[in-house]
Structure 1
Amino acid sequence: MKLKFILVLLALVFSCSTDDDDNTNPVNEVEGLLLIKEIVNGDQTIELFNEKGMFETGYNDISIRLKDNATDTYFEDASLSWMPMMQMPTMQHSCPKSAITKADGKDTVYTGFIIYQMTNMDSSGWSLTIEYTIDGLEYSVTDTINVMQYENQNVASFMASDETRYILALIEPKDPSIAINDMKVGLFKMENMMTFPVVEDYTIALDPRMPGMGNHGSPNNTDLTFNSADNFYYGDLSLTMTGYWKLNLKLMNTTDDVLKGEDVTEENDASSLYLELEF
């Protein structure tokens, strides 16, 4: 009788343990992200995600997964690269972009960024080519994408006094507040229509103003300087109230020559180089 009781008890424990294993949910490695687009390429599908579920002008942080359509599973050891392309009436060009790398702590997610410096009024004009390698086999796929116009100027494309075209993009703050905010921007130069390397060791002077409030400024701002750890520029942005802010900027090279932008004075209410922010 005692042996029978023990056998029944063991059966119950084993059953509960098996049920627990069956109910284990797989980790969602893109939780909190929204799907931008799926690009089908034969036996694989490329999934593109970010926090908004769309591409916009300016800086876009993008997460990528590569799915095996036959098994409905995701590749963990692929190698990927990309080339965004804007088709103009008489020419085409690319834009600043990062390499694609494996996301920290993720098995199936790869990450990178693209900075779209412009778009058409109807969000058309851009395509995205993705090349990837799986188990030594190389693949390539190209598809059109939509790039929406961001409501404020979060990216500036300009010719400077050194006859070089630069791309300057606002990255942070994404959620500004009445405080001293960490400001982060990316600065790139147009080497040719397809190549936009990072610009190192320049200085970006910052003077935020509120045009709708007498063009007043704010205290405790600091100029943006280059960080070689991630190749972006960082500074302090002081916001003293909610509303529309024009972030007046001056770009200076390694010898402090001003390449673009002017001081804000009583006679000059804005710099020709600026970004915008509203909250």
Structure 2
Amino acid sequence: MHMRKVRGILSRSNGMNLYRGCTHGCIYCDARSTCYQMDHPFEDVEVKENAVELLEEALRRKRHRCMIGTGSMSDPYIPLERQLCHMRRCLELIERYGFGAAFQTKSPDFLRDLELIDQINRATKCVVQMTITTYDDQLCKILEPCVAPTSARLEALHACRDRGIPTVVWLTPLLPFVNDTPDNLRRILRGCRDAGVRGILSFGMGLTLREGNREYYYQKLDEHFPGLKEKYQKTYDNAYELPSLHAEALYRIFQEDCRRYDICTDQQQIFAYLHAFEDKQAGTQLSLF
């Protein structure tokens, strides 16, 4: 890792990233793409050393409370967080100043901050968003080698359910010829149902590849699935969007099962929920069915 001071931490939409780069090792990670102009090796995580101070300054200046989001580009619970505790300090500020929070992660490490997350959620709202791509833990170790397996993520979502903390799952990506099967999809959806997940975001049954992450992905296919890279190249050439050959059938399963389980799949509704600030003490609360 290396440290860097930054000028600001919150975007116009009140999102932030405490780190730049990642050590989860997910073979499909879009954040490796060269379009993001990262000037350091991806695994050499850049720590925004003054992020906590900048966040407090920004929260003090705000005239109206809102939701603070994080995790869109860099998981706030990468292993470095265990020693640095930047996310925890940010959550403490969010709780102290009465703001809401929504964060995206692949790690159950957020359970270390569960009491704090619960406090925020009791006063306003704190939404835990978990990425899940495959139900099989052994396959998960190949696709996402340096992060907790799916079973541990689902257990973490159960802990949220038991405390009434709302959760949303990002079901992305489904890798063609790897995990784009009806069985994998159905098992993930049943797991989400059992964990009380309120919404699932899917952006198509497939994945995207562009310069930077394509080369890394193909390198990992050669390593773990010999011959599959050539199948990708023959099927998709250099396309950005790589839909599963079974995309339509998978999407039908997704919609039908989520309707049966009462899980919201409407992207607009879910994002509106993630961004809507709630003051529970004042009786302002937005439900997500």
TM-score normalised according to structure 2 size: 0.26
Q: Which has the higher strand share?
A: 1
Q: Which has the higher helix share?
A: 2
- Max radius of gyration: which structure? 1
Tell me which of the two structures has the higher relative contact order, counting C-alpha pairs closer than 8 angstroms and 6 or more residues apart.
2
